[in-house]
Amino acid sequence: MEGLIERINKKLTVPLARRMKDVQVITPNRLTFLSFLAGGVLAPIFVLKGWLFLAGVLVWVGAILDSLDGDLARLRGITSKEGAILDAVLDRYADLFILGALSLYSPECLSWGVLAMVGSALVPYIRAKTEAHGKPSVPTFGSRDVRNVVVCVGLLLHKPCLTLVVVAILSNLSALHRLFYALRKEGSP
């Protein structure tokens, strides 16, 4: 599912990046901040106000901008470690803010919200630790793209509690999948 969502996003973001390539006022870092503003600031505020459909649209816009920033950087040949770090950190904040807002909006699902936040933070953390120790990371079924689709659809359908349950299960299973893969010995299946 992860690859499918990325391919769908790329059909939109790569042509957009090509059009923006020579527009110097649009930079990858500015797109990163716009992505965070849409998905990490405005969407959570809209959730807390009960405007779930609009929040879902903003999560989708944020996800597209999050893909677009990297595409634009690659097209311009200006990718950087600093840009990747900024993008990753703002992604974590956005994930936690939207899941936190959903948890506050649906207090009956607070436990699921906490599990969703923990799992969403652990998936990229385990990948980073695995790769930092020179081991390959395994692609997983609970990537940020997949979680964003779940959150977006859940918001559009006005199902905040179900959204938290699905993200909690998906992200924690994904984190465990990555952990077990990382812990296996070199050369074992």
* 174 within some domain: yes
On whether residue 188 sits in a domain, the answer given is: no
Residue 189 domain-assigned (yes or no): no
Question: Region 122-139: what's the mean pLDDT?
Answer: 92
What global pTM score does this model have?
Answer: 0.92
Q: Which residues contact 88 (CB under 8 A, 6 or more apart)?
A: 124
The band of 159, judged by pLDDT with boundaries at 50, 70 and 90, is very high
Task: Tell me how crowded residue 154 is: count the other CB atoms within 10 A of its CB.
Answer: 23
The secondary structure of 129-174, three-state, reads HHHHCCCCCCCCCCCHHHHHHHHHHHHHCCCHHHHHHHHHHHHHHH
Residue 141's pLDDT is 85
Q: In whole angstroms, what is the distance from residue 71 CA to residue 17 CA?
A: 6
Count structural domains, the chain. Answer: 1
In a domain, 74, yes or no: yes
Whether 54 maps to a domain, the answer reads yes
Of 133, 125, 118, 115, the C-alpha closest to 178 is: 125
| Residue reference for tokens 């607070």 | 110
Q: What are phi and psi of 36, to 5 degrees?
A: -65, -40
Q: What was the pLDDT predicted at 130?
A: 94
Confirm whether 62 is domain-assigned.
Answer: yes
Tell me the one-letter amino acid at 98: I
Give me the pLDDT at residue 5, please. Answer: 82
Kindly report the CATH number assigned to the domain that includes residue 26: 1.20.120.1760
DSSP, collapsed to helix, strand or coil, labels residue 188 as: coil
Please provide residue 176's backbone torsions phi and psi, each rounded to the nearest 5 degrees: -65, -40
Say if 26 falls within a structural domain.
yes
Q: Are 160 and 154 in contact (CB under 8 A)?
A: yes
pLDDT digits (tens, 9 = 90+) for 35-76: 999 999 999 999 999 999 999 999 999 999 999 999 999 999
Domain that holds residue 131: 2-183
